[in-house]
């Protein structure tokens, strides 16, 4: 179903935890952008076992949140790093 919604785009959907002390910890999300210059749009936040879909207004991300976002494949490592999460790499240094 998700593949059908994304259609023929090169975008990917990612879900990353927000680590304490990361750039996203205590970051205020305004609109749908998440992360600095990643090109990702926030779809939902998982907080305390509940989902906040299509967050509106100014929401502050907190350590322990999980962000669900879509954007360009080449921006996912930057978003993961800003969340305090490191993507696994293949043998050539490229993130999976």
- pLDDT value at residue 50: 96
Cβ(22)–Cβ(83) below 8 Å:
yes
Q: Is residue 87 part of a domain?
A: no
CB atoms within 10 A of CB 18: 24
* Number of folded domains that form the chain: 1
Q: What is the CATH number of the domain that holds 10?
A: 3.30.70.1450
Going by pLDDT thresholds of 50, 70 and 90, the confidence category of residue 54 is confident
Q: Around Cβ 4, how many Cβ atoms within 10 Å?
A: 6
Residue 55 sits in which domain range? Answer: 2-82
Checking if the pLDDT of 2 tops 60, the result is: no
pTM, entire model: 0.79
Go through 50-59 and write b for each residue having 16 or more CB atoms within 10 A of its CB, e for each that does not: eeeeebeeeb
- pLDDT above 90: residue 91: no
User: Range with the lowest mean pLDDT among 1-10, 11-20, 37-46, 57-66?
Assistant: 1-10
């Amino acid at each position: 179903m998700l593949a059908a919604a994304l259609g023929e785009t090169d975008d990917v959907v990612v879900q990353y935890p927000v680590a304490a002390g990361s750039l996203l910890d205590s970051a205020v999300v305004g609109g749908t952008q998440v992360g600095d210059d990643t090109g990702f749009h926030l779809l939902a936040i998982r907080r305390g076992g509940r989902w906040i879909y299509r967050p509106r207004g100014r929401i502050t991300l907190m350590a322990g949140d999980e962000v669900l976002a879509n954007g360009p494949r080449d921006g996912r490592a930057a978003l993961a790093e800003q969340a305090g999460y490191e993507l696994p790499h293949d043998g050539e240094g490229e993130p999976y």
